[in-house]
Structure 1
């Protein structure tokens, strides 16, 4: 596998053209459409539920490093996120007004209404990104390796990453979609079974 270190890509560039699917809780695209933020082997966005997305923005404002981000190069000037999708989705959601920062008195402050100096800090912060190129096997093995730390993947999430493809994609559409009636009925049946 070949890796190339990039330290010249800003948050503003990553979030340009950011698309977020509210229904599914997925950050979909960024980097002017060149970056797939949540390829099929990635789990859904968790930081909003876990109240971590605000911490990502506060870290940027305080000058704290956000850690390494890994992209898989999938074509000429086309990438997908191997590691860092939770952080990138948090950044994109904030820059597009999906959530505010709360001050010490609990008042919300959205990106569009922030002072220019704070917007500049966020927009101009450069991220540390490794661009990875390799075979599908190498990329999937690397994905497993880099996801040992942080919020650990459960066994099913690891299996989804390693055994990705059309079947897994379709199954995720059906059963990971909280708005899907089939998934809702399945959960209801499970609850009834457990209660009995």
Structure 2
């Protein structure tokens, strides 16, 4: 790869700046693609964004940035998108920063203060090479910065028409997926959490396999349709929303139970009861349990050590199943009346079994 250092003034960088959302971000007289397909969305917070402008305002050195030279003589940002957008947004008047006890946008500055920022020289490395070389370089230089998520790296590896289409649905602030699924999802669209999660659901965990197979598809509408179906199924099956629903892997449940004959009224009645059960310590697991009946998802409250000791002494250290004697450490607590049959995690319902009998009883 050929690399050349070039100094570019801020006034030249911001010329022709346009942020057209899904259509991309342009600057440098329309010669710079600020957000190529492999780049993340804008993620700087106010503190980071303000620090960039303060660096320019004080004539402190700003970290070097890297642009790739395209065959047609235009450029694309390899590293420095966040800094570039921060600079352009400030000069455009999109935000203000604290200066001398006041919040001042660029247009509030005196002419000499504006000129000082516009004349600031940015250090840009211009890189020429193959697509693979540019992608490898992009990964390498980002290691020292804000670490890329796994999905951001996948977007780089499998960039193309499909990724560009998928990001419209899943990767923007207030994107369509966020609009209908934010109450049922965790993570951030702009850090690609929604996109990664949906692919995992649709392709049973194999994100790379799905993206490799569909890299050159013209659009991602099948994935978007799948996501809509999942959200519609959730809202019909579990019409009462609770905060615990954000942590449920809904796609996995949809894949397995979407054709099952489910009664939302009966499900809600059971869910409400389980939410009040003090033995159920993992409330989000209730939504899985009411469908597959596996108690492990509930993380049922364990007997405390004093109740175990009490039961052990009461039994004289003898396992009631095999009738052999064991030390306390070789035994495990068990519900006399099972939890699903109404047994509670209280001292009167505790007995100690040897590990072999207890695990045999539990089907392990």
Q: Where do residues 18-57 of structure 1 align in structure 2 (5 Å cutoff)?
A: 18-21=17-20, 28-47=25-44, 49-57=45-53
> Which of 55, 60, 70 is the equivalent residue of 1:64?
60
Paired position in structure 1 for 2:10: 11
Corresponding residue for residue 192 of structure 1: 245
- Where 2:47 maps in the other structure, the secondary structure is coil
Q: Whose radius of gyration is greater, 1 or 2?
A: 2
The equivalent residue for 1:119 is 114
Contact 2:6 2:126 (C-alpha < 8 Å) held by counterparts: yes
CA contact (8 A) 2:14 2:88 kept: yes
1:63-83 CA distance string (max 9 Å, x none): 111111100111333001000
Deviations 1:124-167 (A, max 9, x none): 11111111111111000000000001211111111111221111
Q: Is the Cα contact below 8 Å between 1:82 and 1:143 reproduced in 2?
A: yes
What is the match of residue 89 of structure 2? 93
Alpha carbons 1:30, 1:36 under 8 Å: kept = yes
TM-score (norm 2): 0.50
The 5 A counterparts of 1:157-176 are: 157-176=152-171
Structure 1 unaligned regions, length at least 5: none
> How many residue pairs end up in the alignment?
191
The alignment partner of 2:3 has SS state of: strand
- 8 Å CA contact 1:178, 1:184 repeated in 2: no
- Change over 3 Å in CA distance of 1:141–1:119 after alignment to 2: same
Q: How far is the alpha carbon of 1:27 from its aligned partner?
A: 7.0
CA distance in 1, matches of 2:71, 2:103: 40
User: Conserved in 1, the CA contact under 8 Å of 2:93 and 2:105?
Assistant: yes
SS of the residue 2:144 aligns to: coil
Q: Secondary structure at the match of 2:41?
A: coil
Give secondary structure in 2 for the equivalent of 1:93: helix
CA distance in 2, matches of 1:88, 1:27: 14
- CA contact under 8 A between 1:16 and 1:30: conserved in structure 2? yes
After superposition, what is the alpha-carbon deviation per residue over 1:97-145, rounded to whole angstroms, capped at 9, x for unaligned?
A: 000111343x211111201221111101111111111111100000000
Contact 1:59 1:66 in 2 (8 A): yes
Instruction: For CA contacts below 8 A with separation 6 or more, give which structure has more relative contact order.
Output: 1
Return the TM-score normalized by structure 1. Answer: 0.90
CA distance in 1, matches of 2:246, 2:177: 16
Give the root-mean-square deviation of aligned CA atoms.
1.9
Contact 2:68-2:76 within 8 A present in 1 as well: yes
